[in-house]
Structure 1
């Protein structure tokens, strides 16, 4: 799900936050203390305190058709952001891989009286932006426009028609299928993609998360217009929708806006939640591919989005491999040994248990040793836990960058969509960082050990079969990486 966040940027992120307060591209978080009009605050004025996050004051209600609404009034800019999130991702494909993706991709290809060109021109002439996408858990459709009634009303009318009454024209369906099929051919030349496909298949088996969101070469050609219509009627129903709205609107204007959108959607209830997957068979598999580097992917089942250990696992993973430079993985694998350009780990928490993954690529002749090193680093981290310094440094970094999660209307509408879709508490953004800051070393260590087991890893590698060499010893000045762009 394409579900890849802005909490990593530290002081650079804070500088961006300051810029956002004056660019008017979007609404930004208020300053940490009162400032004179037109005056930019410096980081020194924070005096060691974490910058403040916007007070969202989330309002929520349900439409007559059953859609869940989350609204934040943001009068700072004369615009609004609207996002519809449906439980209509590939996990709902029901044996037809790619059905959810094609349905979402076809939304703006035709409506009664308008083809794709007329739809695009309609939004463009209003200065409005339409966007959409489909992932494993969800499908989304979004609108950004000025909030003045002469712009808002026609933009909203067109958006409601696109989301509620797509005609799925045959010519557009054929064109998009051809594009998807061409993408499958490209994937065959990408060892990282091949490894990812096999990893999810091995990790999830018969579970709906196992197959790729884009479908496959067999399923896509067979999908017909009638299947898209049936999926839309079921999965894009108002009762299956979360409507997130942020902008320069009163409560009454917001209620009228979402009522119009909700009424335009098909009538129907929320779809059942995805069942939890069964634990996979651990072990390694290899894809032979003629490349200079080998892709390494290690994974096991992680957590769902409502797991009570989410905050502890988020913090623990930031220290281990989720925070970029300065993490255990980057320090040991790249900085001390020069084995990779980047190595990362992360929990993808979804409706059901999403994966915990570690991925990197390294020189083919060093792949076996690098794989063992990463496994040893994970085992050591689970046994020892983070140091107090690692914990304190990461907490400080997260506190400094957290305001970016609500620094713009676009960021806020994304947060509202997540809160609504995963049924998180309305005060989630307030409580999450408090939970993170309250954690100690033993709590983080215990949470990571509860959910991860180095002996249960599913491992997929993709690269050439070559004679292996021993790893270089750790050094303050490791050998330089080879020049050029790494293979992907």
Structure 2
């Protein structure tokens, strides 16, 4: 048995030449059965996270990863829609115009420059943050001009009038399209009701009125303030040593406007429970429930992550999916999750169901939430959730793109350098009682804001539940 497993491991690892079975047995002496492999902790990539600040105040996080001859750079700014102020859409429009013009280059020249060098530029704006990134070959013949172009794009955008109008028209088209989508309408209504006048309330896309008031002067002023070096995190990983990483970080930091980090956002006040009905002609009703959740630094993050996996974040096998889809056939899919940000982000639960079953489905969801928060998870559910999280966790740092995203979030949310290892260890140590207590601290079944988006039709009772299919015996591997 040992020898067969050793040979299988070699094949899975991609051995290029035959290896004596005896050598394989010595290489994997502890493998006694498939059960041993299944129960062993997953192998994760150990990250040597190095941190420093540039002379201009940008925070830098770097992980050397020389396996491939390329590297990734990501700049993260506290420049999301929560900084829009009185002109919703300011952050999105500013970010969307970064690569539309620099001194001496128009959008076509910028795109051609990255493409000619085999480099990939990316950007985006969200509620908390705005990002700009580059993936390039490590060869200086490619990377140095690509970095110089990136420095111009993030540090000296010119905001041409033609580009402003074109990107604004694209955002207006997205806004108009969202007005025809029940999921989008429900999401915006929930966010507005949860956050009221708080900066997290409005969509990153902005509003038609806000976009109409934006011009090159307002975009330039926002860029000077929100894309300042002191408001930036620079994440790097790939085929770099520390000296080269320091050079790149210093080059990008010098290219940014000078200035400090923006002040922290206010803490949102909890919203009163409410039921909002949006009348939309459709065959189905979109249901969305939410309340304020947690910040990214909350000490209960790991316990709530695991607790939500059991409730509705773990896909098939979660309580909500089992009851609403498998037993009742009420929806194709249902999910729940915390969205932690610098200030408390929302906890949301969403699904779509037949319009005539909307009220009864909502009542069932409320009952399931109430029961789960009152009783907590079972030991079997907790064990299964831990296995799922541990099994998928290596993907969090399996590629340079995944690593640079993790580094950016660790820096932006001021998490410790040991965060990834800490999180997995916290998950492994969690007990049923700890998960239950965390859920009760942060979620109240009586305080949900509920948004329904769909037609007003006569309501019907739920169909009776059907028995679940027989599950395989516990000794059969899950995968």
Counterpart of 1:221 (choices 208, 212, 218) is 212
CA distance in 2, matches of 1:312, 1:182: 40
Structure 2 equivalent of residue 451 of structure 1 = 442
Residues 1:106 and 2:85 aligned together: no
Alpha-carbon displacement from aligned partner over 1:6-45 (angstroms, at most 9, x marks no partner): xxxxxxxxxxxx99x87xxxxxxxxxx9979xxxxx9888
Alpha-carbon displacement from aligned partner over 1:249-270 (angstroms, at most 9, x marks no partner): 1111111111100000000000
Residues 1:435 and 2:429 aligned together: no
Matches of residues 339-358 of structure 1 in structure 2 within 5 Å? 339-358=330-349
Q: After TM superposition, what 4+ stretches of structure 1 lie above 2 angstroms from structure 2? A: 33-36, 42-48
Residues 1:290 and 2:287 aligned together: no
CA distance in 2, matches of 1:34, 1:300: 55
Structure 2 equivalent of residue 123 of structure 1 = 114
State the 1:219 CA deviation.
Answer: 1.0
Matches of residues 192-271 of structure 1 in structure 2 within 5 Å? 192-271=183-262
- Change in Cα spacing, 1:67 to 1:43, as seen in structure 2 (3 Å) is farther
- Change in Cα spacing, 1:469 to 1:91, as seen in structure 2 (3 Å) is same
State the 1:396 CA deviation.
Answer: 1.1
Matches of residues 66-465 of structure 1 in structure 2 within 5 Å? 66-465=57-456
Residues 1:473 and 2:464 aligned together: yes
CA distance in 1, matches of 2:35, 2:435: 31
2:78 and 2:262 in contact (8 A); partners too: yes
CA distance in 1, matches of 2:303, 2:38: 28
User: Which runs of 5 or more residues in structure 1 are unaligned?
Assistant: 1-17, 23-32, 37-41, 479-488
CA distance in 2, matches of 1:173, 1:45: 59
- Change in Cα spacing, 1:34 to 1:453, as seen in structure 2 (3 Å) is farther
State the 1:476 CA deviation.
Answer: 2.4
CA distance in 1, matches of 2:423, 2:115: 38
2:89 and 2:205 in contact (8 A); partners too: yes
Matches of residues 22-37 of structure 1 in structure 2 within 5 Å? none
State the 1:184 CA deviation.
Answer: 1.8
Work out which structure has the larger RCO, using CA pairs closer than 8 Å and 6 or more positions apart in sequence. 1
- Change in Cα spacing, 1:218 to 1:35, as seen in structure 2 (3 Å) is farther
Alpha-carbon displacement from aligned partner over 1:81-108 (angstroms, at most 9, x marks no partner): 0000000000011221100000000000
Secondary structure of 2:463's aligned partner: coil
Secondary structure of 2:39's aligned partner: coil
CA distance in 2, matches of 1:51, 1:279: 39
CA distance in 1, matches of 2:453, 2:162: 38
Larger Rg: 2
State the 1:185 CA deviation.
Answer: 1.6
- Change in Cα spacing, 1:35 to 1:124, as seen in structure 2 (3 Å) is farther
Secondary structure of 1:456's aligned partner: coil
Q: Which moved more, 1:100-109 or 1:46-55?
A: 46-55
Alpha-carbon displacement from aligned partner over 1:43-77 (angstroms, at most 9, x marks no partner): 88836312211111111110000000000001100
CA distance in 2, matches of 1:196, 1:397: 28
CA distance in 1, matches of 2:291, 2:214: 32
Equivalenced residue count is 445
- Change in Cα spacing, 1:463 to 1:428, as seen in structure 2 (3 Å) is same
State the 1:273 CA deviation.
Answer: 1.3
User: Which runs of 5 or more residues in structure 2 are unaligned?
Assistant: 1-10, 15-24, 470-479
Secondary structure of 1:455's aligned partner: coil
2:86 and 2:210 in contact (8 A); partners too: no
CA distance in 1, matches of 2:162, 2:135: 28
CA distance in 2, matches of 1:427, 1:188: 43
CA distance in 1, matches of 2:34, 2:137: 32
Secondary structure of 2:389's aligned partner: helix
State the 1:284 CA deviation.
Answer: 0.3
Secondary structure of 1:475's aligned partner: coil
Secondary structure of 1:444's aligned partner: helix
State the 1:221 CA deviation.
Answer: 1.4
State the 1:174 CA deviation.
Answer: 0.4
